[in-house]
Each structure stands twice: as structure tokens, then as C-alpha cells.
Amino acid sequence: MKKEELKAFRKMLVELRQKLASNVAHMENHALRNSGEAAGELSDLPLEHMADRGSENFLKDLMIGILQNSEAEICDIDIALSNIDAGTYGTCELCSSKITKSRLKALPFARLCMKCKQAEENEAAQL
């Protein structure tokens, strides 16, 4: 991969990480207070109308799910960033083949190529 391309992916990853980290911090701050209030303030998440009719427990579970997802993504982003430094960015963890650029553009922290990802999902579906 070209230097400029790596630079662009690094920028995408850093921006995504900042956004996720601030979402996580925001949610954690407000979860400590009142989950209904927190949901109302998360304007970019489709929680607002659910807060009106949904139960507080449902909302809490939803927030915990989003938090766990975000934290897992931040983890993957950190791995991707260190892979850029190591020169192994864009390589599938399982089969070592190159991950296509279109896949990386859609998911810059992808750790598996499309083929391995699909195989993994098929396996999960069979469980």
C-alpha cells in the first residue's frame, strides 16, 4: 500500500477512534446519572424516541451493548494503528492475504479479509 493511502487510513482511524471514545465517555458519564436523560442527549443515536416508551432496563441494556461494541471497535482501531506502524496494515490475520481497499474503506479497522470474515460468520451461524 502506498504511503499516502496509509496516511489516509490512519487519519480515518484516528478520527473514528476520537468519535467512539467521546461517545463512550459521554455515555459512561450520563449512565452514572440517569439513563433516560443520557439517551435524550445522544442525538446521533436512535435512542430518543425509545426512551419515551421503552423501559429503563431495556435502555440500560441497549447502552451497555453500544458501549461494549464501541470499546471492542476502539480496541480494533488500536490494533489497526499499530499495524500501520508495523507495516502489516491491511493483511488478514487468518490467511495473511491482502484485505481489499474497498473493504478497508468501509471498515478501516477490519482484521480479516472478506473470505475469512464470511467463513467466521458461517461458523457462528451454525452454532
Q: CA-to-CA distance for 101 and 110, rounded, in angstroms?
A: 11
Task: Report, in Å, the least distance between residue 71 CB and Zn ion.
Answer: 24
Are 51 and 59 in contact by the 8 Å Cβ rule? The answer is: yes
Give yes or no for residue 121 binding Zn ion (CB under 5 A). no
Give yes or no for residue 92 binding Zn ion (CB under 5 A). yes
Q: Which stretch binds Zn ion (CB under 5 A): 24-32, 40-48, 67-75, 88-96?
A: 88-96
Q: Which residue's CB is nearer to Zn ion, number 63 or number 80?
A: 80
Q: CA-to-CA distance for 94 and 104, rounded, in angstroms?
A: 16
Give yes or no for residue 113 binding Zn ion (CB under 5 A). yes
Give the binding site for Zn ion (CB under 5 A): 92, 94-95, 113, 116
